[in-house]
Chain A
């Protein structure tokens, strides 16, 4: 028997009375290889930290690569975590994804370069022409360190310099993008404005260059939600997100073009639903081993109040603003 869940408040707003937010054809396989990270950032929607033990097992790694091999429509492999570089088979996944001719993106926190044995990551990325997407909440040291921990900004700058030294961010085809998110309970600024300010500041003060900057709205789940509640900001933040709902963001929502794989192989509409354990709707493939593009295309997206985070203001996605 199929259980029909009531449409969330978000779905009613986004998809009308029936709450019918539908996915398009997936083009990106976003793989979360585990929750272990060398950092424990205050805004992290994964609750990642050095003490987490969830790691994608071999059979799931193989299943992801198998799906990629047999599904040419998936043109992008997007590897995330935690710090995905800490996964024992991370480099193999990158190499095999590239060998299949796919664009490979890695969500890179910069400071992981300073973990034992990982200093050669920039060179590895360059040799495989990985698109590197780096977290840098703000171009000022004080703001970034407040969110990500003391000393993180300085190490991030060192990490960016190492990537620049390999040719990243220099318009030679090695793509280095930054991701900035608000250091608090408010919406991000206009992406173009922050990109301009960040480019100028990092160039003048730190000699660092990059390609694009993406703004991302902090998602009211996991560790960030906990902080919102503790600081007495939760209700006001949710109201802010909902009041800023922008229907122009809907066509570009990342849930419409990607499928998210959890460390245990379960499938989700996005990385946020993954953290909420909000799996694909009933009747859809539940695990990567059951991946079926035909069934996933046009599926109804599972939504919740957190989805207002992606539609507020100019919108938010793994690729930045949407409108």
Chain B
């Protein structure tokens, strides 16, 4: 195996269906329905997908959602704003976990 992540893999995502067809079909329906425009526009949902892809560090999703976002009329400037919003939340989450250390320290230290 030359690499764990290969951009050609993206086109073969559906190959996974063969291992559990019914579950895969259920996932496809759920995924399509979740991204249908409703209270949020399609573009809003693509941005949510992009932010999740970034903080989940999934190269396939980052590739796919960057292209989809560009086709929604967004530019890298827009994506950079979304990226920083997501990244700052991740930073805040890391810091918030510091409260565990803070609380433990308060409890057991004199």
Please list the residues of chain A having a beta carbon within 8 angstroms of any beta carbon in chain B. Answer: 138, 140, 142-143, 182-184, 186-190, 193-194, 197
Q: Are B71 and A193 in contact (CB under 8 A)?
A: no
Which size class do B's interface residues fall under? Answer: 10 to 19
Interface of A is mostly: loop
Quote the shortest CB–CB distance from B106 to chain A (angstroms): 49
Inside 8 A of B43's CB, which chain A residues have their CB? 189, 193
A140 B77 Cβ-Cβ under 8 A: yes
Asked, given contacts A193-B41, A193-B43, whether A140 binds B75 with beta carbons under 8 Å apart, the answer is yes
- Measured in the bound complex, the distance between the Cα atoms of B72 and A183 in whole Å is 12
Contact A182 B71 (CB under 8 A): yes
A187 to B43, CA, bound (A): 14
Query: Contact check: which of B41, B70, B77 meets A186 at CB < 8 Å?
Result: B70
Is A194 within 8 A of B70, CB to CB? no
Tell me, yes or no, whether B67 is within 8 Å of chain A by CB: yes
Contacts of A184 on B, CB cut-off 8 Å?
70
When chains A and B are docked, how far (Å) is the Cα of A186 from the Cα of B74? 12
Known: A140-B77, A142-B77. A193 touches B70 (CB 8 A): no
20 contacts between A and B (CB under 8 A): A138-B73, A140-B75, A140-B77, A142-B75, A143-B75, A143-B77, A182-B70, A183-B75, A184-B70, A186-B70, A187-B71, A188-B71, A188-B73, A189-B73, A190-B42, A190-B72, A193-B41, A193-B43, A193-B72, A194-B73
* Complexed CA–CA distance, A140 and B79 (Å): 13
Question: B42 to chain A: which residues have CB within 8 Å?
Answer: 190
Q: Can you list, as one digit per residue, whether each of B35-53 has a CB less than 8 Å from chain A (1) or not (0)? A: 0000001110000000000
Convert B47-74 into 0s and 1s, putting 1 for each residue whose CB lies closer than 8 angstroms to a CB of A: 0000000000000000000010011110
Measured CB to CB, the closest approach of chain B to A140, in angstroms, equals 6
In the complex, which residues of chain B have a beta carbon less than 8 angstroms from the beta carbon of A190?
Answer: 42, 72-73
* Contact partners of B70 in chain A: CB under 8 A: 182, 184, 186
**B75: contacting residue among A138, A187, A188, CB under 8 A:** A138
Kindly list chain A residues whose C-beta atoms are within 8 Å of the C-beta of B67. 186
**Distance in Å from the Cβ of A106 to the closest Cβ of chain B?**
26
Chain A CB count within 10 A is highest, among B43, B70, B71, B73, for B73
How far, in angstroms, from A189 to B71 measured CA to CA in the complex? 5
Q: A142-B77, A143-B77, A183-B75 provided; 13 other pairs, C-beta below 8 A?
A: A138-B73, A142-B75, A182-B71, A186-B67, A186-B71, A187-B71, A188-B71, A188-B73, A189-B71, A190-B73, A193-B41, A193-B73, A197-B73
CB-CB under 8 A from B73, the residues of chain A are: 138, 188-190, 193-194, 197
For the complex, what is the distance from the CA of A143 to the CA of B77, rounded to whole Å?
9
